[in-house]
Amino acid sequence: MKKEFLNLGKQPIANGFLCEKEIKNEFFFDLKVGFDKETKLVTQMEYVDPSLMFNENYAYRGSMSITMKEHFKFFTKYLQGILPQFPFYKRNPKVLEIGSNDGVFIKNWDYKYTFAVEPCQNFTEETNNMGYKTYASFWDDHLSDLILKEEGPMDLIFAANCICHIPNLDETFRAIKNLLSDDGVFIFEDPSLSEMINNNSYDQIYDEHPHIFSIIALKNILERNGLTIIEVNNTTVHGGSNRIWVQKTKDVKKIDVSVEDNLQHERILGLDKFETFERFAVRVSQSKEDLIRILKQCKEEGKKVISYGATSKSTTIFNYCGIDKELISYITDTTPEKQEKLCPGMHIPIISPQKGFNETVDYAYLGAWNFINEIKHKEKEFLQRGGKFITHVPIVKFI
């Protein structure tokens, strides 16, 4: 039973960047978030049909950020270093990535034993051309059976920023258990609920994230599907994520202390209680007021404010706060697919940084606040000449 604690209003498809003539057909839905009393899962009250988001027009590219490329390269190096410790290593392990996007993770692995699943056909084509057999489909029981039949069990199943995109978690985990070899490992990374609560980063919530995971909720849902968490790593990517290592319950030999440490930390934060999220909703509403006030003040002072990074997160912010091109002149983004389009819902124009990030800009709202270090490093000149970034994380402020 889900109980609502937050209403983020009418929202469009977060990555649905569009042109003028598409505005009249733009899709909107009510973004309401609730708490499932049984599993303790934070989840949307109603889910958007995945085919409206993940199709051949999908605009988000993992490879657009140096941080993400380095993150996956570094993790692959670590993983390949420890693979010999796993019993399956002796038999030429098979690797599968679910949600391979533009290949930012798999390109570090050999195509001879690495397989991929990706429903967005623009990317399926790319990774197939790179030599990786890529299944152009959503992850479900049917696909799991098909891969099992064609390739046999997988020893390592990886998914980054993908599992929290899938509405039906019971089917997702059941299908993973079906395809995983008995001594295999399933590793997945997704934004962390405790970090979202600590950072007041409510913009983690948008159509593509039907759930924001706590370890408490994941443990409940994985266990009822015959899977056990054996380790948890806290990472800094995407504003604070968790990497969760999972094995089939009947084959677990050892559980790392990080699992209980994380559960304990989350219990202290109250992530197993509805009241925690009611208090969060009050802070979200305050954040909205503060952001509007600061942007209006900039306008009154005649300052030019733009937004840095046309992110899915900023779709939530702009639509919830009603921020349009009166307050933000335009957005700059490095992704070619987003440039010369309008942002979803509020229709602020998006241009390349070469065109728009210049000396006329006084302030830049950090749509991509999760890449703050990379951006501060890149934009030293802007900061040196007195330019400032604006963020809402963890409170609304200038940087």
Contact residues toward ligand TMP (CB under 6 A) are 60, 64-65, 309-313, 333-335, 338, 368, 370-371, 374-375, 378
- In the numeric block, which tokens belong to residue 349? 């124009």
- DSSP one-letter code for 214: -
**Complete edge-to-edge strand list for the sheet that includes strand 28-36:** 2-12, 28-36, 42-44, 211-212
Task: State in angstroms the smallest separation of the CB of 104 from ligand TMP.
Answer: 11
- The CA–CA distances, whole Å, from 32 to 8, 166, 305, 358 equal 6, 17, 29, 38
Measured from the CB atom, the residue of 37 and 377 that comes closer to ligand TMP is 377
- In the numeric block, which tokens belong to residue 390? 């604006």
Task: State in angstroms the smallest separation of the CB of 131 from ligand TMP.
Answer: 26
Measured from the CB atom, the residue of 144 and 204 that comes closer to ligand TMP is 204
Task: State in angstroms the smallest separation of the CB of 314 from ligand TMP.
Answer: 8
**Complete edge-to-edge strand list for the sheet that includes strand 388-391:** 350-351, 331-332, 305-308, 363-366, 388-391, 397-398
Q: Which residue's beta carbon is nearest to the bound ligand TMP?
A: 309
- In the numeric block, which tokens belong to residue 238? 């995407």
Task: State in angstroms the smallest separation of the CB of 66 from ligand TMP.
Answer: 7
Regarding beta strands 211-212 and 2-12, do their DSSP bridges make them parallel or antiparallel, or are they unpaired?
unpaired
CA–CA dist 257, 223 (Å, integer)? 18
Measured from the CB atom, the residue of 244 and 368 that comes closer to ligand TMP is 368
Bridge partners, residue 116, by sequence:
97, 134
With vertex at residue 315, the alpha carbon angle to CA 72 and CA 37, rounded to the nearest 5 degrees, is 80
CA–CA dist 38, 3 (Å, integer)? 11
Task: State in angstroms the smallest separation of the CB of 112 from ligand TMP.
Answer: 30
Measured from the CB atom, the residue of 204 and 225 that comes closer to ligand TMP is 204
Measured from the CB atom, the residue of 101 and 114 that comes closer to ligand TMP is 101
Task: State in angstroms the smallest separation of the CB of 3 from ligand TMP.
Answer: 29
Task: State in angstroms the smallest separation of the CB of 307 from ligand TMP.
Answer: 10
Residues 392, 367: contact at Cβ < 8 Å? Answer: no
CA–CA dist 51, 119 (Å, integer)? 9
